[in-house]
Amino acid sequence: MSDLHQLSVKALADLLKSGQVSAVEVATRFLARTGGNPHNAFLDIDSEVTLAQARASDAKLADGTAGPLEGVPVAHKDVFVTRDFATTAGSKILSGYRSPFDATVVQRLRTAGMVTLGKLNCDEFAMGSANENSAYGPVQNPWDTSRVPGGSSGGSAAVVAAGLAPAATGTDTGGSIRQPASFCGITGIKPTYGRASRYGMIAYASSLDQAGPMARSAEDCALLLSAMCGPDLDRDSTSLDMPAEDFTASLNRPIEGLRIGVPLEWWGNGVQCAWFPDMPARRSEGVQVEVQIAIENALKEFEKLGAKLVPISLPRTELSIPVYYIIAPAEASSNLSRFDGVKFGHRAKDYTDLVDMYKKTRAEGFGNEVKRRIMTGAYVLSHGYYDAYYLQAQKIRRMIADDFQRAFTECDVIAGPVAPSVAWKFGENAGDPVADYLADIFTLPASLAGLPAMSVPAGFGAQGMPVGLQLIGNYFKEAQLLNAAHRLQQATDFHLRQPEGI
Ligand code: GLN
């Protein structure tokens, strides 16, 4: 069997269950592919640990106690703490750090039988849109190694696209699952805020952070999401008290009559919207034409499947950028205060007293983007500025969430681009953090509202780079999103395409 690395999670799980292949064989095949760390995607690999887990899975497969995903490999974004692998969150300040416990998401996937391949590169503390903010070097996009993979879960998207893992975990605070999935041509879903436990997920902006799966297809994402979610009330106070759900159960439902909302504010660029000719030419000048065409084609596919397109309005879309870039840094400035050289990771060597130790440790340990956000966060929370920035942002955040609720009275699912462009070249936005911030425009609104949202491969844009369609659902409607995405994937093959040579 020479193509194990090209198989889906579902196919691998079935082969393992039927005994046609062993967990050790699968793990060995994937470990062999990680040699030389292609695309700089991994931050830690330990074949002994992986093979020990695979042997344990084989024992379970043999004695009939196997979990639903027994023996299928997965790799974790380095934001999830793990006992058996180092955890750095892409930061120098946590270099060599080893957690005494596993994050709930890691533990749940292991309970479902998944074998851990290692830890994945990401932007430092998940702050970024291109993986260029990792202290351990950027990840390359497998479709074009001169381009970014997206961020912050860039390693997660790259390993799936490059056949280095059939699936990976990611975290999404403002788009970090959806945007790299879009840039690397894979599928990823961020569930409703509170669905997946944040316990052991290194906090960036706690009111926004969510974990989710990244894989080739909606079906694979549904399998992982079913295993990841569920209440963790004692350990995460924002965990939802909702039973775990089987998100694969409704994948094949027809989507006849599904009302798909197309936000007017997300259309533009002089391209006449095919469905709503009266729509005035609006914003979104920054959206690449090829991206719009790919999204338009995906919407046409949905129509063929019986869905109905309806115009909706998300009038505060633009405001989501300043609102997010106030709230997220504010929370980060508080969350990252724990990295002071006392309890975790790096401690500066030469210092005169405690305060000097704090200062030197943080100056040495944090990268520029993290420092920028800590300073921004401290500023917007400080006396005299709190009302003007943080409080104002919180009020607009509520309005953005209300806009979605209004929209969901007219439609079931919202569709649009994940990002205004395909993956850009390394260095293109270097030195201009605001350029990266602006590119988050379509992912931030759902994050601020806490809604489930996903990225689904929808074709190819400029220079043959992948384009992702974003689907946003109302609270707890992950099953509906995955159902729509799965139906689209049965009618198209974009999610099956791979970079050359994989
Ligand atoms: N690109 C956004 C940021 O830089 C989102 C990151 C994320 O979702 N973790 O903050």
pLDDT digits (tens, 9 = 90+) for 35-85: 999 999 999 999 999 999 999 999 999 999 999 999 999 999 999 999 999
Residue 429's pLDDT band (cuts 50, 70, 90)? confident
Cα gap 314→416, rounded to integer Å: 12
Q: Is the CB of 113 under 6 A from ligand 1?
A: no
Q: Is the CB of 173 under 6 A from ligand 1?
A: yes
Q: Is residue 446 in some structural domain? A: no
Q: Is residue 214 in some structural domain? A: yes
Residue 417 has pLDDT above 80, yes or no: yes
Distance of CA 152 from the midpoint of ligand 1 (Å): 6
Number of domains composing the chain: 1
Distance of CA 83 from the midpoint of ligand 1 (Å): 26
Pocket test for ligand 1, best of 79, 123, 189, 429 (most atoms within 8 A of CB): 123
Residue 119 near residue 40 (C-beta atoms within 8 A)? no
Tell me what pLDDT residue 264 has: 85
Residue 442 has pLDDT above 60, yes or no: yes
**Does the active-site annotation cover 395?**
no
Residue 271's pLDDT band (cuts 50, 70, 90)? very low
The residues with which 119 forms a beta bridge, in sequence order, are: 44, 76
Question: Given 99, 129, 134, 152, which residue is catalytic?
Answer: 152
Q: Is residue 454 in some structural domain? A: no
Residue nearest to atom 10 of ligand 1 (CA): 127
The three-state secondary structure class of 66 is coil
Residue nearest to atom 4 of ligand 1 (CA): 128
Structural domain that includes position 56? 4-228
Q: Is the CB of 152 under 6 A from ligand 1?
A: yes
Residue 276 has pLDDT above 60, yes or no: no
Q: Is the CB of 188 under 6 A from ligand 1?
A: no
Residue 456 has pLDDT above 90, yes or no: yes
Residue 177 has pLDDT above 70, yes or no: yes
pLDDT tens-digit profile of 251-266? 999 999 999 999 988 8
Q: Is residue 161 in some structural domain? A: yes
Neighbours of 13 (CB within 10 A): 24
Query: Would you say the C-alpha torsion 488, 6, 186, 244 has a positive or negative sign?
Result: positive
Residue 274 has pLDDT above 60, yes or no: no
**Does the active-site annotation cover 176?**
yes
Q: Is residue 74 in some structural domain? A: yes
Q: Is the CB of 433 under 6 A from ligand 1?
A: no
Tell me what pLDDT residue 270 has: 42
Q: Is residue 57 in some structural domain? A: yes
* Percentage of the residues of the chain whose pLDDT score is greater than 70: 96
Residue 280 has pLDDT above 50, yes or no: no
Residue 268's pLDDT band (cuts 50, 70, 90)? low
Q: Is residue 199 in some structural domain? A: yes
Q: Is residue 201 in some structural domain? A: yes
Q: Is the CB of 328 under 6 A from ligand 1?
A: yes
Q: What pTM did the predictor assign?
A: 0.96
pLDDT tens-digit profile of 337-395? 999 999 888 999 999 999 999 999 999 999 999 999 999 999 999 999 999 999 999 99
Average pLDDT over residues 430-440: 87
Distance of CA 207 from the midpoint of ligand 1 (Å): 13
Distance of CA 174 from the midpoint of ligand 1 (Å): 5
Tell me what pLDDT residue 283 has: 36
Kindly report the CATH number assigned to the domain that includes residue 216. 3.90.1300.10
- Give the DSSP per-residue string, 217-251: SHHHHHHHHHHH-S--TTT-TT--------TTTTT
**Does the active-site annotation cover 152?**
yes
